[in-house]
Amino acid sequence: MRRLGLAFALLAALLGGAESARADMFRPSKDEQVQLGQRAAGELRKKEKVLPENDPHVVLLRRVAARILKQLPEADLKPWKFSFDVIDSKEVNAFALPGGPVFFYTGLLKKLGTEDQVAAVLSHEITHAIRQHWASAYADNQKRKLGLTALLMIFRADRAAFDVAGVADDLLFTLPYSRKHETEADMVGYDLMTAAGFNPQGMVDVFEILRKATSGGKPPEFLSTHPDDAARIRRIQDRIKKDSRTFQPQVPLPWEAEEIKPKAGK
C-alpha cells in the first residue's frame, strides 16, 4: 500500500507545474532525467569499486566514447551529461542511466576482443540516453500501474512539480526497455559506430559473445528484452551487406580477450 501511495504521489507530480504542457505528462523532462542520472551515478560510485581514471580500461572506454560522441549534432548533446566509468566486477554487463552516465563492468570488457565491439555497446547505450528510452519506459510503467480511474483522479488533482527525489532508485536500474527501444538502439547505434569509423561486424560479435556468456543466466541490459538474439544478428548482418562502405579491420584490445578473434573488414 505504501508503494501504491508513492506511485500516486509521483504521477500526480509528473502532471504538474511548468512541465504540464509537455506532450506526455508522465515523462520526466530532459533536465529531470539528468538530475536522476547524476544522483544514481553518484551513489554507484560510492557503493561500487569504480576504476580510477588512469586505468587502461577506463582510458580506452573514454577514448572510444569520445569518437562516437563527436558524431552527434550539438543539439543531441544538450542537456545530457555523458560520463563513462568502469566497475570492477565479474558481471557481464553495461548500462546507461537517464541523462548520460554509462557504466561498463570489467566482466564485459574482458569478454570483448576489439575496440569495435566496445564501440557497438557504447553506441547502443548512448542511443538509449539521447532517445530518452528510460523516460518512456518510466512513463509507460506508471500508466500501467495506475489505470484509468486513477488517471482521472490525477487530472483533477492539484498540480505540483515533478519530484526527482521521490523516484525510487531501483526504477533507475530495473525498468526494462521495449523491443522498439532496443531495435532503435541497435539501428541508431549502428549509424553512430560506423560514422565514427568502427567496423559494424563488432556489433554482430557482441551479440554472439553475450549470448554465449549468459547462456542459462540473467541476460545483460544489452539483451534484456530480446529473447530472439538471432533476429537481431540477422538484422545487423543485413545492414552490413547493404552498406556500400568499406570498413577497416577491427582493432584488437590491448588486453587479452577471452572469447573472440577480430574479423577482417568488409
List, in order, residues 6 or more apart from 184 with CB less than 8 Å away.
127, 131, 133
pLDDT digits (tens, 9 = 90+) for 163-183: 555 555 555 555 667 788 889
Element housing 15 (H / E): none
Q: What is the pLDDT of residues 32-59, one digit of tens each?
A: 999 999 999 999 999 999 999 999 999 9
- Residue 252 phi, psi dihedral angles, 5° rounding: -60, 150
Among the listed residues 125, 182, 184, 208, the single catalytic one is 125
Using 50, 70 and 90 to split pLDDT, how confident is the model at 145?
A: confident
Domains of the chain, first to last: 2-32+134-173 (no CATH), 49-132+177-242 (3.30.2010.10)
**Region of residue 167 (left: phi > 0; alpha: psi -120 to 50; beta: else):** beta
Report the side by side order of strands in the sheet with 94-96. Answer: 83-87, 101-105, 94-96
The answer to whether 224 and 230 have CB atoms below 8 angstroms apart is no
53 included as an active-site residue: no
Cell numbers at residue 6, please? 508513492
With beta carbons less than 8 A apart as the criterion, state whether 214 and 220 touch: yes
CA atoms within 13 A on the CB side of 44: 27
User: For the chain, what is the mean pLDDT?
Assistant: 80
- H helices present in the chain, as ranges: 2-14, 30-47, 56-69, 74-77, 106-109, 115-130, 133-156, 169-174, 179-195, 201-213, 229-242
